[in-house]
Structure 1
């Protein structure tokens, strides 16, 4: 069993507090016992019911819109613990080491999308972009923005429609930026917080960061958690640590800077837990209001009695959600409930000294609180509250001692209830702001953005997310759905920057936005924080690369003839995209929306042809087929698509669809080996050409080979290793069907396995890697021993995979540590597509042995001509008996194989292949040589 990382910041210590006894849940078990426990954990997942709910049902339960993260919770759990441990990833130190791609000589190349954007909760004007420091003669046009899972970015001129964003160096690309604060005594000092409490544990942060030079360099600011370490009960696991920073504020106290940080908590499960899989609550015992009066060198949690609540016989402290400083320099705070305990929400606090806090009032039934205070009237506050899962608005004229409901905006979108502008997701998108120069002008954000000039008596809509459901009748500007932030220009309150699920927008005239579609415009050029699920690179290329991939909430994005560097993509399907495949030779692509809805489209134009399923895509019941983001695989040789589905009796099956010009014929492949063991990864063999040989990985430690998968009578064979434990994330073939690579999604397991004898024996290959999920694996077909993997912390590689103890190194040059979910290879030129969940797409290349390297091994092989009608000549300076010769097409399929005795005399091959690009590979004495050839 892999050793788990233990960090001081998590304070995993023994504690005994009022009956809560900390015990070790990671028991020493046999592989068989651990597998049984793992299966029980998954089958009793706290998301067993919620992951199959519709979007509407999920919103009613205050759950994030899609269930991808819930499925990832199940797949990445530590099988011995019953839950994942993503909070440990944030503390792993991955030093930049040289290797390739991603080395100094072969860096990753960012490809985009440069025009998509992504979820943004933090956006603010650079306070130092003024006067002599502005650099361009324009004050306050430099903007910082923080992407959720996308890092911290800067735009040097937000007013320029052609301006682009650049990621801040020195900070991790996978930072979940959630909050910021500027020191009023020193504008060069800025703090950012990480971790998004609202995302049910899917966006765990890694603490607080600080710059003292205006954003050029950043350092981590340690906060020692107050309260006990990790606690276990029979029904709850309270994991110690600081995982979510909900808000930060800095107050000027007689020239001294007081820093206040609101530490949140959430359960990495649903409230409906059970004893076999306990509720894992992240940081509840350490949540609360933290204060520093020495610039973050030391911290104390404020533990006033008014901030306490009781849960399970233990005392906890409320989680702050929003801070404000009134016109008379008094501190105010709104709270948020801690999921898993359900306590502490809806509270409104006041403090004159930062040490003693008075509970002014509580909004009945409220959970999340957002505050906006007048810049001139110290008693006037506007409040946005999540009450019974919807957004409600209030006003207070007595410093939060009492609150009065005010009118709420009525969205022109007829699908949004008139009494809830957040459409049931106030837990997720909820904004309230008041104009610093006019208390009557207030702004509210939910699905869309609204403005009132009479303190909420009436509202005008100043943004719309689409042009249907009545929205086509208003002339408001477009802003992506789900508003998260609105920050005013420091000297012109009619201008602002807005953060949404689509990135950043710039408002040139808030007062005209209800009548002018040009008053607010998107600013996402180069703001590449796109969360992809899958990616595909076409085998053909002419003027550039052809890429496609499915994204979170931004549909399926495609790009043809991509130039080097970042590119603008085109959305070819809306909503949540899924699995993608490109068959350039046959001129079609597979694009997928949620569940098992696969659409066959023309390539490269992406015009819709038909739905590849047993029923029409729009008629498929969402809970009857695959996962929300379903796994699939295309046999490009026989034009068969394989994906997850279910039989009528509810058992798992593989749907096999034969793809024709205008329709598909589909049937289900069933076996006892998968009926209760859902497939999680597929790979079609490129070596068997007259039928489909399908490699299948499953959620319960199993790897299968399915022969004749394209027929009605396939054969399922279990080739799993005896020590496999976990949910398979990727399966790949090497240079033959005997050579197989397997990776696992999970924490706490051996994540990499390899066989060179078809599964008779397996070797573990993880060795020096940290304890992180591995999502994808890709061997270099041209250089034996070089393998790369996609992980939670970017790409790692080894050049000695075939050794008993391979050494892995991170390949961070050009990409850094972001979650890499998919790796695809264009074999004609060894181009790798690395698809990330948070930073878009990147490409790199594999190298082969150079001519000089072969000569150093006393080999001198020549292959000519490289352009021919199929007649190839091979010569060697040495006698090389039993040289294996293989030919591969652009899809990686082996189309020719022979053994030849090479020598000083020429050997001739007659390749009866259709016109196109091919790779010819020669292997002898443990060495190999590959050349590209073209058959006319």
Structure 2
């Protein structure tokens, strides 16, 4: 009986086991199906990207691009203190000029030259239509003499590379006027420094006034008396000021007077002249109020004004036009050259929707609404970003309007159709040849495009390195492969290291890119507000990898996503909390509480992590910085966090970088300007943030966006600033400029590939540049060199002491003298017989004044000299 029961139990247990196994198989299959379906749902498409943007930004379409660029320079104020900005620019230029001749770090353009960037203004030679000048948002003026095949920068000596407008003197085409300060009211529309003129077709420029203009919308020159010039001045973008409206010069720009002013928040965005009677002038006035947390792009004083006496007196045009209201926004104006009584006006409302088009045939006395089709809703919802209209040079019934698309009407503005073709989006400038109207040139967010058949087909112009990078990276295994996220042009990369072989691999505006340092096929790329994708086949296909990240958390416009330097499958993602993945993005989990002071207000995503750095010496040490000035560190992998920023400035933290030599050492940089005091922007800690040392040196009050220590020299640091690249050889006491050919423009990210000794700067307006660090690396030599050599002193520039090294191949009498710039002997460092080998001698600067000196070496027939600089 016992055996029978045991046998029955065994049979029953086996049946139960079989059923359990079947259930487990069914569960496993179900999980696989769920995973596959979920994975399929995460495949990235344009529609999924739009859905993510809508979730993060809501229905506010007016924020294109984001306030991110200006807020960090303004924080904690509502606007950038322009006096402080100018002081910082002057300081940067002074340091550049003082150290330019000593630097041995030259740079070369890395590209891209085929991607492009935002073109804000354009001018074409009236007699040579293939001579084109293009002004970039933050790249300065470029010139082509062969119809856009090749371009050269021609305004790099102008203090501001932000272009508002550019116009050619109609009588003397070698004379051009450049208005600095983009007027499109974009979040990264940098202020200008006034008006400049060239009389030699761009070879050199001179400042001619309007230093308080900040942003210039249009320049108009009297076609008969070219000494009479009108300038539409928008004034401050973030803030109010009285230096706005219409300005006039009657002596070719030598002096200026304000001839039309309405309010301190109403600027002139457009001005046009009647070509038959230049005493008749029209101006479009635009009232708008903006700060990083609030924007209003319309107001009661927006409208069209006219002068019939050359600008002495003005009156508003109203008959048939939209009535004054708080919702009247940007207005574009165009006057027909063949029939100057015909004018067109485009109106955009608050918050940015197209109101319509109006036309007058009697010089503005009466206007009629023209738009029949398509409906206004067909156009973009951020018309304040464009707002320009142009008339065909010979047919007054043909008119063009720049929006996301390029639109044309052939019946005086009633019916419109797109002539976009293959062009990039967002139109800002256009030229049509009056002698050959089929020849058209357009400037947009993607660069310059040319049509030879009236807009039926467009050709992109290459060789324009004006891409605006937010973040860049270098492929560790193949360092000639460069990647970066950009404004308006997504994430371009080069696989072969050329300037013109870049291709775009992702969606939206681009930001952080990470390349698996063990497998170059694995790429992580990001669009605005932290929309993150992963590709495992070199960018051919993408999947969204946000599983585990709370979609309701605040994410920065440029959300930091960084790869661990210790494990390529470990990445960190900064929202309001810091997230970590250990499996290449399959799942994320938070490792911190909210590290910010809370959310912002108004229409801005604020209260976010802006920078992350894990120590390359310990996986447990992680640093983070925020947009509200907080700096945090954990030494236990995220279990506990310590805020270490109490003694640091109340400024937007742009970068925190863990040191490569000491685990307790880190560097932190800040953005921002301050009027009433000189504000340091670079700090160092050697004790996990308990104490901070100011290492801004001679670069006080210049916003710094990134910092990198050199893994081969603990005293050498590299920084990217709002005004170019600088480095120090003495830990931060003295900074000197990097690269004579590097433009004075914002550098938002720098990356170093140590094995190849290549450093790359990512500029916001002039693409990328490469520095070969072997130029400053001291070579390893044997004790018996094969020749005589005077080695570069270190540090240079210097403040207290500098070490001068030299080599001799055989015993010789050596003299080493120091002279000032007048040739006067200052001191003799060596004068005697020296044995073969490398030698060093210290120069004490206690009795030296600031300035340039020369070290001269003589050994037998060998002579050499080096320039050195003392800065106190």
TM-score, with length taken from structure 2: 0.75
Give the direction of change, closer, same or farther, for the CA distance of 1:409–1:654 in structure 2 (3 Å limit).
Answer: same
Checking the alignment, whether the CA contact within 8 Å between 2:307 and 2:314 is kept in structure 1 is yes
Q: Please state how far the C-alpha of 1:308 moved relative to its aligned partner.
A: 3.4
Where does residue 589 of structure 1 map in the other structure?
Answer: 523
For structure 2, the 5+ residue unaligned runs are: 1-52, 290-297, 599-606, 786-872
For residue 509 of structure 1, give the secondary structure of its aligned residue in structure 2: coil
Aligned counterpart in structure 2 of residue 666 of structure 1, from 562, 566, 588 = 588
- d(CA) in 2 for partners of 1:570, 1:173: 32
Q: Please state how far the C-alpha of 1:201 moved relative to its aligned partner.
A: 6.3
Where does residue 538 of structure 1 map in the other structure?
Answer: 475
- d(CA) in 1 for partners of 2:477, 2:159: 31
For residue 656 of structure 2, give the secondary structure of its aligned residue in structure 1: strand
Which digits, 9 at most, give the CA deviation of each residue in 1:525-571, with x for residues without a partner?
12121111110012223xx60111111121111211214xx233111
Where does residue 431 of structure 1 map in the other structure?
Answer: 388
Where does residue 547 of structure 1 map in the other structure?
Answer: 482
Aligned counterpart in structure 2 of residue 198 of structure 1, from 167, 184, 189 = 184
- d(CA) in 1 for partners of 2:139, 2:58: 27
Matches within 5 A, 1:277-296: 280-281=239-240, 283=241, 285-296=242-253
- d(CA) in 2 for partners of 1:772, 1:555: 28
- d(CA) in 1 for partners of 2:369, 2:784: 82
For residue 76 of structure 1, give the secondary structure of its aligned residue in structure 2: helix
Where does residue 66 of structure 1 map in the other structure?
Answer: 65
Which range is displaced more, 437-446 or 571-580? Answer: 437-446
Give the direction of change, closer, same or farther, for the CA distance of 1:408–1:321 in structure 2 (3 Å limit).
Answer: farther
Determine whether 1:327 maps to 2:279: no
Q: Please state how far the C-alpha of 1:702 moved relative to its aligned partner.
A: 3.4
Which digits, 9 at most, give the CA deviation of each residue in 1:419-442, with x for residues without a partner?
245322221123322222222222
Where does residue 187 of structure 1 map in the other structure?
Answer: 173
Determine whether 1:559 maps to 2:494: yes
For residue 85 of structure 2, give the secondary structure of its aligned residue in structure 1: helix
Q: Please state how far the C-alpha of 1:376 moved relative to its aligned partner.
A: 2.5
Aligned counterpart in structure 2 of residue 218 of structure 1, from 175, 197, 205 = 205
Give the direction of change, closer, same or farther, for the CA distance of 1:770–1:764 in structure 2 (3 Å limit).
Answer: closer
Determine whether 1:462 maps to 2:381: no
Deviant stretches of 4+, over 6 Å? 98-104, 853-856
Q: Please state how far the C-alpha of 1:679 moved relative to its aligned partner.
A: 2.6
Which digits, 9 at most, give the CA deviation of each residue in 1:5-48, with x for residues without a partner?
xxxxxxxxxxxxxxxxxxxxxxxxxxxxxxxxxxxxxxxxxxxx
Determine whether 1:338 maps to 2:287: yes
For residue 184 of structure 1, give the secondary structure of its aligned residue in structure 2: coil
Matches within 5 A, 1:601-680: 601-602=535-536, 605-608=538-541, 610-614=543-547, 621=551, 624-638=553-567, 639-645=569-575, 652-660=576-584, 664-671=586-593, 674=596, 676=598, 678-680=608-610
Where does residue 353 of structure 2 map in the other structure?
Answer: 390
Checking the alignment, whether the CA contact within 8 Å between 2:177 and 2:195 is kept in structure 1 is yes
Matches within 5 A, 1:139-150: 139-150=128-139
Which range is displaced more, 418-427 or 109-118? Answer: 418-427
- d(CA) in 1 for partners of 2:614, 2:469: 22
- d(CA) in 1 for partners of 2:715, 2:508: 40
Where does residue 76 of structure 1 map in the other structure?
Answer: 73
For residue 286 of structure 1, give the secondary structure of its aligned residue in structure 2: coil
Checking the alignment, whether the CA contact within 8 Å between 1:150 and 1:175 is kept in structure 2 is yes
Give the direction of change, closer, same or farther, for the CA distance of 1:122–1:200 in structure 2 (3 Å limit).
Answer: closer
For residue 545 of structure 1, give the secondary structure of its aligned residue in structure 2: coil
For residue 843 of structure 1, give the secondary structure of its aligned residue in structure 2: strand
- d(CA) in 2 for partners of 1:778, 1:853: 30
Q: Please state how far the C-alpha of 1:596 moved relative to its aligned partner.
A: 2.5
Which digits, 9 at most, give the CA deviation of each residue in 1:611-645, with x for residues without a partner?
332269xxx85x53421220122114332111123
Checking the alignment, whether the CA contact within 8 Å between 1:530 and 1:837 is kept in structure 2 is yes
Q: Please state how far the C-alpha of 1:259 moved relative to its aligned partner.
A: 1.2
Where does residue 691 of structure 2 map in the other structure?
Answer: 761
Matches within 5 A, 1:673-752: 674=596, 676=598, 678-688=608-618, 691-709=619-637, 714-720=639-645, 722-734=647-659, 735-748=661-674, 749-752=679-682
- d(CA) in 1 for partners of 2:98, 2:255: 39
Q: Please state how far the C-alpha of 1:88 moved relative to its aligned partner.
A: 4.0
Which digits, 9 at most, give the CA deviation of each residue in 1:407-460, with x for residues without a partner?
2553xxxxxxx3245322221123322222222222222221233333234334
- d(CA) in 2 for partners of 1:816, 1:223: 23
Which digits, 9 at most, give the CA deviation of each residue in 1:480-536, with x for residues without a partner?
1111121112421221111111111111111xx4xx4xx22211x121211111100
Determine whether 1:363 maps to 2:329: no
For residue 582 of structure 2, give the secondary structure of its aligned residue in structure 1: strand
Which digits, 9 at most, give the CA deviation of each residue in 1:283-337, with x for residues without a partner?
3x1112111111111111115xxx535x7xxxx8752523232433343223232
Where does residue 407 of structure 1 map in the other structure?
Answer: 371
For residue 89 of structure 1, give the secondary structure of its aligned residue in structure 2: helix
Where does residue 222 of structure 2 map in the other structure?
Answer: 251
Checking the alignment, whether the CA contact within 8 Å between 1:172 and 1:816 is kept in structure 2 is no
Checking the alignment, whether the CA contact within 8 Å between 2:655 and 2:668 is kept in structure 1 is yes
Give the direction of change, closer, same or farther, for the CA distance of 1:675–1:459 in structure 2 (3 Å limit).
Answer: closer
Q: Please state how far the C-alpha of 1:795 moved relative to its aligned partner.
A: 0.8
Where does residue 579 of structure 1 map in the other structure?
Answer: 512
Aligned counterpart in structure 2 of residue 308 of structure 1, from 254, 262, 278 = 262
Q: Please state how far the C-alpha of 1:667 moved relative to its aligned partner.
A: 0.9
Give the direction of change, closer, same or farther, for the CA distance of 1:447–1:759 in structure 2 (3 Å limit).
Answer: closer
Which digits, 9 at most, give the CA deviation of each residue in 1:226-284, with x for residues without a partner?
xxxxxxxxxxxxxxx3211111111145x56201111113552xxxxxxxxxxx32x3x
- d(CA) in 1 for partners of 2:381, 2:266: 27
Where does residue 482 of structure 1 map in the other structure?
Answer: 426
Determine whether 1:843 maps to 2:843: no
- d(CA) in 1 for partners of 2:161, 2:333: 25
Q: Please state how far the C-alpha of 1:708 moved relative to its aligned partner.
A: 4.3
Q: Please state how far the C-alpha of 1:151 moved relative to its aligned partner.
A: 0.8
Checking the alignment, whether the CA contact within 8 Å between 2:103 and 2:738 is kept in structure 1 is no
Aligned counterpart in structure 2 of residue 521 of structure 1, from 459, 465, 472 = 459
Matches within 5 A, 1:18-57: 57=59
Give the direction of change, closer, same or farther, for the CA distance of 1:334–1:72 in structure 2 (3 Å limit).
Answer: same
Checking the alignment, whether the CA contact within 8 Å between 2:285 and 2:305 is kept in structure 1 is no
Where does residue 380 of structure 1 map in the other structure?
Answer: 342
The two structures, once aligned, show a CA RMSD in angstroms of 2.9
May I ask how many residue pairs the two structures share in their alignment? Answer: 697
For residue 376 of structure 2, give the secondary structure of its aligned residue in structure 1: coil
- d(CA) in 1 for partners of 2:509, 2:407: 26
